[in-house]
């Protein structure tokens, strides 16, 4: 499996001068909490935009095996708690949007 069947994407923009605080909290608390609290989550990765349209600075991707697991996570009390913690810890200096995706195609390079 090169990429997951389904994933949750969270795009974030951070107030200038607060990025170190944002990244420390996100990496040390939020991502580990998400992996522990969302039973269907297989793993997560975060990225910083290098070249883009300016709509956001960071992206977090949370992988799910299938639609059932992702949908359950989105309806869960656990995700509501994760959102509450985000708002409390860093919501005053960051904004975010969430989008879900389902894979429509994948091609893996064959290595000899």
pLDDT of residue 3: 87
- For residue 68 the two structure tokens come to 């059932």
Residue-wise pLDDT tens digits, 23-66 = 999 999 999 999 999 999 999 999 999 999 989 999 999 999 89
Judging by DSSP bridges, how do beta strands 6-14 and 41-48 pair with one another? Answer: unpaired
pLDDT of residue 40: 92
- pTM exceeds 0.85, yes or no: yes
Judging by DSSP bridges, how do beta strands 94-102 and 58-64 pair with one another? Answer: unpaired
Report the C-alpha gap between 78 and 39 in whole angstroms.
9
Q: If you average pLDDT over residues 73-92, what whole number do you get?
A: 97
Domain with residues 6-102, CATH architecture:
2-Layer Sandwich (3.30)
Residue ranges of the domains in the chain? Answer: 6-102
Q: Which band of pLDDT confidence, cut at 50, 70 and 90, is reported for residue 111? A: confident
Report the C-alpha gap between 71 and 15 in whole angstroms.
31
Residue 49 is classified by DSSP as -
């Amino acid at each position: 499996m090169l990429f997951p069947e389904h994933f949750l994407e969270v795009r974030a923009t951070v107030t200038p001068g607060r990025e170190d605080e944002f990244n420390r909290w996100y990496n040390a608390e939020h991502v580990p909490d998400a992996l522990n609290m969302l039973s269907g989550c297989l793993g997560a990765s975060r990225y910083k935009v290098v070249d883009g349209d300016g709509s956001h600075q960071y992206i977090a991707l949370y992988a799910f095996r299938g639609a059932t697991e992702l949908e359950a996570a989105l309806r869960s009390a656990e995700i509501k708690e994760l959102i509450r913690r985000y708002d409390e810890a860093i919501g005053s200096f960051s904004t975010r949007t969430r989008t879900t995706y389902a894979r429509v195609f994948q091609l893996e390079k064959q290595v000899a």
